[in-house]
């Protein structure tokens, strides 16, 4: 059972990204054929035939604006998949942490109140059941440090942002 809340990209932010992404580019929607793209709007893999788009997203940028943080060079941006049109967000009955594929490697990156990286951890999702346990341990370890304000989970393979967990 998950002990922390995986946060999807907020609907208002998604609306902005569907117009112009964080790199200033207009989106280019397409119909997915194979499915499986990790959708950051609803924290699930896409299905074949869904209209999706790949946008540049800066996950610290809006958090920093809300909190007056100054992440400086840590305000990085990268590609994420989202639905091309508004969606319902994560399913209310979704269980576990999103994108927890057996054997996958994840970087659990810790940020302080200024948005600076203050540590991290490599996490390998186990082949057996119990995908939540390693995430719960990594988040508990991160938030045991009073300096940590939020945590980002990223794919090691591509470095892309998957989801955020806040204190």
Q: What is the pLDDT of residues 106-140, one digit of tens each?
A: 999 999 999 999 999 999 988 876 678 899 999 99
- 1, pLDDT greater than 80: no
Lowest mean pLDDT of 100-104, 115-119, 160-164, name the range.
Answer: 100-104
Per DSSP, 66 falls in state H
Q: Is residue 21 part of a domain?
A: yes
- Which of 52, 83, 114 lies at the terminal end of a domain, its last residue? 83
Q: Residues 77, 111: one domain? A: no
At residue 128, the pLDDT reads 73
9's CB contacts (< 8 A; 6+ apart) are: 17, 40, 41, 57, 80, 82
At residue 93, the pLDDT reads 84
Q: Look at the chain and report how many structural domains it folds into.
A: 2
- Which of 50, 83, 116 lies at the terminal end of a domain, its last residue? 83
Whole-number Å distance between alpha carbons of 112 and 98: 23
Q: Residues 127, 75: one domain? A: no
Q: Residues 65, 20: one domain? A: yes
Q: Is residue 159 part of a domain?
A: yes
| C-alpha dist (Å) from residue 83 to 25, 50, 93, 139, 141 | 16, 8, 20, 28, 33
Q: What domain range includes position 153?
A: 105-166
- 96, pLDDT greater than 60: yes
- 6, pLDDT greater than 80: yes
At residue 135, the pLDDT reads 92
Q: Is residue 5 part of a domain?
A: no
| C-alpha dist (Å) from residue 123 to 13, 61, 74 | 28, 25, 21
Q: Is residue 47 part of a domain?
A: yes
Q: What stretch of H or E contains 164?
A: strand 161-166
Number of other CB atoms surrounding residue 33 within 10 Å: 7
């Amino acid at each position: 059972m998950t002990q922390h809340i995986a946060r999807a990209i907020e609907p208002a932010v998604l609306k902005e990204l569907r117009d112009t992404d964080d790199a200033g580019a207009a989106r280019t929607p397409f119909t997915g054929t194979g499915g499986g793209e990790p959708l950051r709007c609803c924290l699930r893999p896409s299905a074949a035939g869904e209209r999706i788009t790949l946008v540049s997203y800066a996950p610290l940028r809006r958090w920093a604006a809300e909190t007056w943080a100054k992440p400086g060079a840590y305000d990085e941006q990268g590609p994420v998949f989202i639905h091309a049109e508004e969606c319902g967000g994560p399913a209310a009955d979704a269980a576990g942490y999103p994108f927890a594929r057996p054997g996958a490697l994840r970087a659990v990156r810790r940020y302080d109140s200024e948005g600076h990286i203050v540590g991290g951890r490599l996490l390998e999702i186990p082949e057996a059941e119990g995908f939540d346990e390693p995430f719960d341990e990594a988040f508990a370890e991160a938030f045991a440090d009073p300096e940590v304000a939020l945590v980002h989970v990223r794919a090691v393979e591509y470095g892309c942002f998957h989801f955020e967990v806040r204190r």
